[in-house]
Amino acid sequence: MAKPTVASDWLGGCAGCHMSFLDIDERIVDLVELVDLRATPITDLKEPDKAGVTVGILEGGITNTYNEEVAIRMRERCQILVALGDCAIFGGVPAMRNFFTLEEALTRAYVETPSTDASGKIPANPELAKMTLVRPVHEIVKVDVFVPGCPPDADIIFYVLAELAQGRIPKLENNNLMWN
């Protein structure tokens, strides 16, 4: 039987969850015996296979329309979708900008920061993604497994992937369930 395939991507996050994933260190050698790592932001393939993968992992919350597209694409192309980290599950630190209007946030970033001179203006190129309210991934697409943490411990990520690799949905509890 072919190895389960795994693809991942990051949305409105800091990439810390992927770094935490890499903290499994040498266990990655064991991991690739169990699964076939396909597209990730840190490997060469950039899109999950059109034919679909077994497990899709998303880090980071939905912060703009491009994130929405990526999330929808990942959901379409995977059987089991994993939301990795507090941003993907709760909105996380980026969700703090939800207290302000989009206008205020963009103005602050592109016009008002101390290092911006008078020429600062909000980019308006139609090809750019539009900013939205920061939302968790499961507000846009159905998520099957939630792995909270900021970031989730490498041990937890390894446990989750190992379970999925062996065809089981991981159940997080006790030391494996942490939102911080």
Q: Smaller CB distance to other proteins: residue 4 or 92?
A: 92
Kindly state the smallest distance separating residue 37's Cβ from other proteins, in Å: 24
**Are the C-beta atoms of 6 and 54 separated by less than 8 Å?**
yes
Angle between helices 154-165 and 27-34 (to 10 degrees): 20
**Is 9 or 86 the residue whose CB approaches other proteins more closely?**
86
Q: Which one of 10, 21, 146, 158 is in contact with other proteins (CB under 8 A)?
A: 146
Regarding 7 and contact with other proteins (CB under 8 A), the answer is no
> By CB under 8 A, which span of 44-52, 102-110, 114-122, 137-145 interacts with other proteins?
137-145
> 60, 85 in Cβ contact below 8 A?
yes
| Residue 177 engages other proteins in binding (rule: CB under 8 A) | yes
Per-residue contact string for residues 81-110; x = within reach of other proteins by CB under 8 A:
--x--x--xxxxx-xx-xx-----------
Task: Name the nearest CA neighbour of 37 among 154, 13, 45, 85.
Answer: 45
SS3 for 47-72 is CCCCCCEEEEEEECEEEEHHHHHHHH
Q: Which is nearer to other proteins, 76 or 104 (CB)?
A: 104
Name the minimum Å distance from CB 92 to other proteins: 6
The Cα–Cα gap between 53 and 59 comes to 17
Choices 27-35, 45-53, 119-127, 128-136; region in contact with other proteins by CB under 8 A: 128-136
Pairing of strands 36-37, 131-135: unpaired
Using CA atoms of 40, 161, 16, 94 in order, give the dihedral in degrees to the nearest 10: 90
CB of 86 to other proteins, least distance (A): 5
Q: What angle do CA 89, 18, 170 make, to 5 degrees?
A: 55
Return residues touching other proteins (CB under 8 A).
83, 86, 89-93, 95-96, 98-99, 133, 135-136, 138-139, 143, 146-148, 150, 171-173, 177-180
